[in-house]
Amino acid sequence: MQLTGSQIVVECLKEQGVDTVFGYPGGAILNIYDELYRHQDEIHHILTSHEQGASHAADGYARSTGRVGVCMATSGPGATNLVTGIATAHMDSVPLVAITCNVGVPLLGKDSFQEVDIAGVTMPITKYSFLVKDVKDLAGALRRAFKIAQTGRPGPVLIDIAKDVTANKTEYKPEVPKIIPRSMEQIEAASVEKALKLMRKAKRPMIFVGGGAVISGAEKELLEFAKKLDAPVTDSLMGKGAYPGTDDNYVGMLGMHGTKTADLSVGEADVLVVLGSRFSDRVTGVTKNFAKKAKIIQVDVDPAEINKNVIVDVSVIGDVKSVLDIFNSRLEQLSHPEWMEKVMERKRTLPLTYSKDRLTGPYIIEKLYELTNGEAIISTEVGQHQMWAAQYYKYTRPRTLITSGGLGTMGYGLGAAIGAKVGNPDKTVVNIAGDGCFRMNMNEIATATRSNIPIIELIFNNSVLGMVRQWQTLFYGERYSHTILKDKVDYVKVAEAMGARAYRITKMEEVEPVLKEALAAGEPVVIDCVIESDDKVFPMVAPGKNLEDVFDEEDLNAES
């Protein structure tokens, strides 16, 4: 059948099972939006307040559902406004398809109105980027985009379509998408055998879980593996929920703001099994000194990550779930009672702590965990509140912490929460933000109210850029250069002006009743939580230090 390019776009989206698109229209993409209007019963379009909000919403939808997120924008500034969201998805391996439209083919390369080479701009931050100049190539490009986004290590793909292509006609033949198999062809038997040999010899094994374990859906296999290996389990920020945070073997997050138990124990381990992690500097401390006593086994679907940041002893290339299946089938029950007792004793004696005599971020998060029974999807912005959300909310299932780990994108969480709620309408979705981050994209509250998306926005309002201030306090002689936000902005009034229900919390006894009302509201809610400016995230590893140098507030007080 003969279809226009815009009709082909919509038919290909339907082919791929897309039920939701996040975007913002403009002149170059109008033909596609006109076609979306005709198919609004099949594809739900969420109009965001800003294109960046659309890219973050598509990202949150993808992370929380495991499906491909889709966002759209027009040419020029519309397309460039997607860039931060695309880069965020790229750093955290999120399957995303961004569809933009450009000026017509005769106008390309002539600095035409609202023309930008967005395929070129995004080339370093996508798995692939297309510029479609012929309608005959459009269906193939769209199908390839969805396949590339999901194959192997997931990631974002951008398709830029010239405007005249959306109006031109060509023959269209429907196709049923093929199931994308798990990456198993690179799993080498010899590498598996070397890994198993190291595990069997280990006296002090430990498991470190990264985001790849979440992406692969390896939670069942991981739990079985941890029990068979009889090892403590730590995770990265991106690995949260792949292993249940309530399990006895779990010792907390690793890295700059990891637990003392995790940081110190990795330094003592003799075998470290790393599952789907790329060894971010926020995890390793001084890279050359990371886990120096351990033989390191790295399992990753992406060969480019092997020996990139940390030199390992054995690498197994393949999907984490598939590799763990093999490990579990080959590994007998092991036992390390002395090592486990030592680590568990450390866990008992070195717990996370915070001040219990005033309103703090950790108190609010613990109360939120209690009231939601740990069943909520939590999204975050970036900063102190993000680390508290990682430390004090216990994640027992994958895809329940939605956060920008690699790029550290302030302004990410609110859009991501909207996407997560759209993808999981029966789940409670809460975005935890700092006041600095909320200012970045707070206009997306209007998106939530316009589309009646009942998310909860918790603002930890300390009137400063908290994490930057923490560094300024500890390492920059308390020179607070441009990190103080004390002004006349009233977040309750801002939220109410955008149509949301809003509350302000200033003391501990207000937390539970306000959270209960928010959880029962069934509409967008913003809660302004006023906390102290100098609250800090502990434990901490200072920049340029090893994980074994981890310290907390008690250590600082002892030194002074």
Contacts of 545 (CB under 8 A, 6+ apart): 285, 286
Whether residue 529 contacts residue 461, with contact meaning beta carbons closer than 8 Å, is answered with yes
Distance CA 376, CA 400 (A): 7
Whether residue 300 contacts residue 306, with contact meaning beta carbons closer than 8 Å, is answered with yes
Distance CA 376, CA 358 (A): 25
Whether residue 209 contacts residue 243, with contact meaning beta carbons closer than 8 Å, is answered with yes
Q: What six digits make up the tokens of 146?
A: 């969805």
Strand order in the sheet with 295-300: 250-253, 233-235, 205-209, 271-275, 295-300, 314-317
Q: How many CA atoms lie within 13 A of 497 on its CB side?
A: 8
Q: What six digits make up the tokens of 216?
A: 């692969």
Whether residue 377 contacts residue 267, with contact meaning beta carbons closer than 8 Å, is answered with no
Longest dimension (CA), the chain: 78
Contacts of 20 (CB under 8 A, 6+ apart): 43, 44, 45, 46, 61, 70, 422, 423
Distance CA 33, CA 74 (A): 10
Position 357, amino acid: D
List residues with catalytic annotation: 51, 113-114, 163, 467
Distance CA 4, CA 310 (A): 50
- Other Cβ atoms closer than 10 A to 27: 14
